[in-house]
Amino acid sequence: MTEVPGGVAIVGAYEHPTRYAPDKSEWQINAESAKGALEDAGLTPAHVDAFFTSSTASEGGYLGGCAAVMAADYLGIKPNFIDETDVGGASFGYYVNRAVLAIQSGMAKCALITYGANTRSRNIKVGTIGYNQLSVQEVLPTPDSFEQIYGTTVVSFMGMVAQRYMHDYGLTSEQLASVAVTMREHAALNPQALYRDPLTVDDVLNSPVIASPLHRNDCCVISDGGAALVIVHPDLIPETKKKPVRILGFGESYMGHGGGLTDWAAESREMVKRACDQAYRMSGLTPQDVDTAMIYDAFTLNVPIDLEGAGFCGIGEGGAFVADGNLRLDGGSLPTNPDGGGLSSNHPGRRGIFLFVEAVRQLREEATGRQVPGARTALCTATGAAFLARRGSAAHLLGV
């Protein structure tokens, strides 16, 4: 049995307010986010002895390789423990896990996790970059070489997964569209959200098809942005300013071809399930104990798949679950992404860190205008890609 993380807590959380910042570099957004999270925690850079960060390097991020070393130097900190594990947008969930392990091991007492990107202002088309656009020198003989030559993109991969889910389980475009509509309803309550205008199912279905069956409004927005978290050993909690949010359980999992052909749709769900099952076992909680969920909605499809994997509905029932209004702040059984998510609020390229920021706001009762009443527990799930079918998921249960 995995040991429950003993009192390790998130004590600082900050989301950079920008959605378009052509006057700011990725470094500056990263630093301003770090400053905001440390101030939120009531701690200083001198407290930080573990550091984690990630750059949107595949889309030309300035930090690029050695991001943790470069950013630590830029921030003027000297951590004992650093990491920049790259699992795409799920990287930040993995950092939370490693921060807990570093603290439990005695290597650190205060971990800082940061992210910053100016993807929108640099006009980077996240998710639509063809991997065959890399130069010949950059294309190494790796497992994805047999896919790169066909120009596969993230969105085309997700379109294929959606087609399979529709074939196997009867998922419909209308059900997926309802996810985008709900996220836009929530974004209307968030003054920082990129898009806040009303959206209907017809609006989604009438928007251009990007990768059949996914329409433009089934895909996340592209924004600038940044965020940071501060995670500490319980010994430091008396020095902090606000209600600590405990990390009750966590898990992570991986999917790939496994040496043969894979049902990407089913394996995506099962990967999420493996990560969530670890988190449930560690925390002693069940899906029925969760008050609100933060799901990485790079595409509308991610939401029903993750809900099935997390045990909120049966296999093949995710479409009906989202279409029946269960995600809505207004009367839903599982209010999801109250900030508007990646579909309407922000998505600078890697959104996993923003799930934690919103979860902390909800559990501290700081989400003015979009507060989930009585929220005591939150589930965060994020899936990111190393390359399309080689993907990883992270799951977390947080509570107060």
Where b means 16+ CB within 10 Å and e means fewer, 208-231 reads eebbebbbebbbbbbbbbbbbbbb
Give the Cα-Cα-Cα angle 108, 112, 115 (nearest 5 degrees): 150
Burial of 258 (0-12, 13-18, 19+ CB in 10 A): exposed
Summarize pLDDT for 114-158 with one digit per residue, the tens: 999 999 998 887 777 654 444 333 444 555 556 666 777 889 889
User: For residue 63, is pLDDT > 90?
Assistant: no
Domains of the chain: residue spans and CATH: 9-124+143-399 (3.40.47.10)
Contact present, 124 and 60 (Cβ < 8 Å): yes
Give 258's contacts (C-beta < 8 A, 6+ positions apart). Answer: none
Q: What is the mean pLDDT of the chain?
A: 91
Coil, strand or helix at 111: strand
Summarize pLDDT for 260-302 with one digit per residue, the tens: 557 888 999 999 999 999 999 999 999 999 999 999 999 999 9
Summarize pLDDT for 158-201 with one digit per residue, the tens: 999 999 999 999 999 999 999 999 999 999 999 999 999 999 99
Give the pLDDT score at 381: 98
Q: pTM of the entire structure?
A: 0.93
Mean pLDDT score, 323-350: 97
Give the pLDDT score at 66: 79
